[in-house]
Structure 1
Amino acid sequence: MVPLRKQLVTKYAVILVLPLFVAALYADLIWSPDDRVLGASQRIFYFHMGAAVVAALAFTLTFGASLGYLLIKDLRWDHMAAASAEIGTVFTAMVLFSGILWGKAAWGVWWTWDPRLTSTLILWVLFAGYLLLREWSDDLGKRATYSAVLAIVAYIDVPIDYMAVRWWRSVHPVVITTQGIHMAPKMVNAMLLSMVAMMAIFVIWMVIRVRLLDAEWRLRQIYQRRHQVLEDSPSS
């Protein structure tokens, strides 16, 4: 069971994040100015960027934890990889959805096979496949090994997704360059606050999900030991 102190820390962390998230919503929807070209639809972009940063962070953690499992063979690394992949897949779906909404306002179409959009969709499909693979086997070791290999291969698309607008012709805007961030100061602050709020949500969600996976693993071990004892005991 999760110690009471850890439960309280998580509870208070959630309470502290709520005002941060509300502040991010206020900055995104009310405080930041309209774009001169896109108008109010620009506000979708702050949410979009925050989700994109968290998705990249989550998949990077999945990549690192998968390497950790293959090297150490400790299932706690697998739990971290799985939890982070789950969250990253959700945030990637948010990136796609918000990108579709923003693209309709900016480009006049719901979808275009732009390099960035296409690579993001491929990323979502790869890690959705990772999650499906984890349901394939009840053998925890085999499942963790195959999942780790797939996660490492799938992670190749993360830097490709980031560099897509630089390597190929793209209609997707490049906001952050070596010259800085090409946005008004208020817009930059709103975007950064949105990123911080979403990263805080990611951290809390990650902690909770890893604890749940660890608890499931321990319960499974208890059940297996109990089942083994019953099998070894002489029948009456």
Structure 2
Amino acid sequence: MTIDSTAAPLPRGFFDRPVLDVAPDLLGRTLVRRLPDGEIRLRLTEVEAYAGEVDPGSHAYRGRTERNATMYGPPGHTYVYFTYGMWHCMNLVCGPAGHASGVLLRAGEIISGAELARRRRPKARNDAELARGPARLATALDVDRTMDGTDVCGGRAAADLRVLHGSPVPRAEVSSGPRTGVGGEGAVHPWRFWVTDDPSVSPYRAHQPRRRGKRLDASRPES
């Protein structure tokens, strides 16, 4: 019997590496979300790396808090946060426990279960928009703070969230640049990685200071 290696879950050792190695290597991997009404599969097309307490753009830059505790490990778990009072965003924790690095999942292509994603993203104009942006990705997959700390390396078919091997994207087809919405010293790092010319990738927007009462676009949350 032939074993489909693309359907195998990523092992914990995959995530127990430096964040700048893990982030581009996540492109092309398959994120599986099991829901009461079915299953959604998403091919990751855009991510951003955040390097913990040495990274001014990271939630962990000023140290450990109740909000960011799951960033400190162990690797292979989710860090889900609530931002701007209306959106959730999902990261995958990587590096050794205690290091607080993670990869923000910015965008992906829904490869199965698109009808389920549309129920949660009814305003999407087309399927490429269903998970184009970190908040839209989390909304399409029905991810919120209750999923913070979820182990994505469990491998059980019945698990609520898994990351499978998928088809990793060759580095020649990966672009990189500044992270979306990150200002200050963190703006100089080219730690956003995406599949070149993929239609599901979100548009880049430079950092803009927040203005009280302004409703922000769902593609712009920072990590």
Give the TM-score normalised by the residue count of structure 2.
0.26
Higher strand share: 2
Give the TM-score normalised by the residue count of structure 1.
0.25
Higher helix share: 1
Larger Rg: 1
